């Protein structure tokens, strides 16, 4: 089992990597459009700041968290509305994101073991929440890096994103209105260091294999499966690659093959 302290350290490292990418940018670059339609680099960071804020509410004041859900004028636009609400001039936004993510880490570190926090359509432990924040930070960081033409080296933190992608197999099916499969799926991924990361029974007939980065891009819906070196064996594994979704909420619109439309997780 992954230690919460280690997860929070990895979340801080992933956040710092994106912070270092955006902090030196001139104000004009914060307005550059990213692969997510309608979202600038500023929107990407504002989304992370907003999500940290609602995650902090979930960890410290469940009633206040639920109130944000109930009071939302249009639940289908919560993600966009949150990013727009937290959007601000670069230095103000950076301060908001930095202080918010620090407060969230402090709050998660005090959540009692076994306690479940409210979230959108589910409940999560502090370790799951930290893992989800790593996933989101990495995914939105990829959108920013792509916009800037920067290729970021992969790190061992990808294992957290891949783990969440595997754990949310059933959610991907359910989000697309399909019954969650009962057939086990074996996942074998090649990590950045060349080692193999695996989940599921070794003798499972349904299997997914390929580079860890490609799997993470798929489950965060940053690439279409046609553009990735993932191999699916068996009908359940094959269908999963069409609906995989590591983030909560309704199904994302995904990406078209060869860099088409984007998704906001």
Q: Residue 50: which of 88, 12, 22 has the closest Cα? A: 88
CA angle 232, 234, 238 (to 5 degrees): 45
> Taking the model in full, what pTM does it have?
0.94
Domains identified in the chain, total number: 2
Residue 88 and residue 183 in one domain: no
Domain encompassing residue 112: 4-148
- Residue pair 36/24 in contact (Cβ under 8 Å)? The answer is no
Q: Among the listed ranges 75-84, 212-221, 240-249, which one has the minimum average pLDDT value?
A: 75-84
Average pLDDT, the chain: 94
Where are the extended beta strands (E) located within 13-152? Answer: 117-119, 122-124
The pLDDT, as a whole number, for residue 1 is 64
Could you say which of 116, 148, 180 is where a domain stops? 148
Give the β-pairing of 206-211 and 122-124: unpaired
Residue 11 and residue 71 in one domain: yes
Residue 140 and residue 37 in one domain: yes
Residue 132 and residue 41 in one domain: yes
CA angle 159, 163, 169 (to 5 degrees): 150
Residue 32 and residue 103 in one domain: yes
The pLDDT, as a whole number, for residue 261 is 44
pLDDT tens-digit readout, 150-205:
999 999 999 999 999 999 999 999 999 999 999 999 999 999 999 999 999 999 99
Q: Among the listed ranges 121-130, 145-154, 236-245, 253-262, which one has the minimum average pLDDT value?
A: 253-262
Residue 116 and residue 88 in one domain: yes
Asked whether residue 107 is assigned to any structural domain, the reply reads yes
Range with top average pLDDT, 49-53, 78-82, 250-254? 49-53
Residue 117 and residue 51 in one domain: yes
Residue 36 and residue 61 in one domain: yes
- Residue pair 93/45 in contact (Cβ under 8 Å)? The answer is yes
């Amino acid at each position: 089992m992954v230690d919460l302290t280690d997860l929070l350290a990895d979340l801080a490292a992933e956040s710092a990597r994106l912070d270092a990418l955006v902090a030196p940018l001139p104000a004009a670059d914060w307005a550059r459009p990213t692969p997510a339609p309608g979202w600038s680099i500023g929107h990407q960071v504002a989304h992370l700041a907003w999500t940290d804020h609602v995650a902090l509410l979930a960890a410290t004041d469940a009633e206040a968290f639920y109130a944000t859900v109930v009071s939302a004028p249009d639940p289908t636009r919560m993600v966009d509305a949150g990013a727009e609400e937290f959007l601000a001039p670069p230095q103000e936004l950076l301060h908001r994101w930095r202080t918010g993510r620090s407060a969230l880490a402090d709050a998660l570190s005090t959540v009692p073991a076994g306690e479940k926090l409210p979230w959108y359509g589910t409940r999560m432990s502090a370790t799951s929440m930290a893992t989800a924040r790593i996933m989101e930070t990495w995914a939105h960081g990829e959108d920013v890096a792509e916009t800037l033409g920067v290729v970021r080296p992969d790190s061992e933190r990808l294992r957290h994103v891949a783990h969440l992608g595997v754990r949310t197999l059933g959610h991907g099916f359910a989000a697309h209105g399909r019954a969650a499969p009962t057939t086990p799926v074996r996942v074998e991924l090649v990590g950045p260091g060349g080692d193999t990361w695996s989940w599921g029974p070794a003798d499972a007939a349904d299997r997914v294999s390929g580079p860890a980065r490609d799997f993470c891009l798929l489950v965060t819906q940053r690439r279409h499966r046609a553009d990735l070196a993932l191999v699916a064996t068996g009908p359940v594994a094959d269908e999963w690659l069409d609906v995989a979704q590591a983030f909560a909420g309704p199904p994302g619109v995904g990406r078209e093959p060869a860099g088409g439309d984007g998704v906001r997780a």
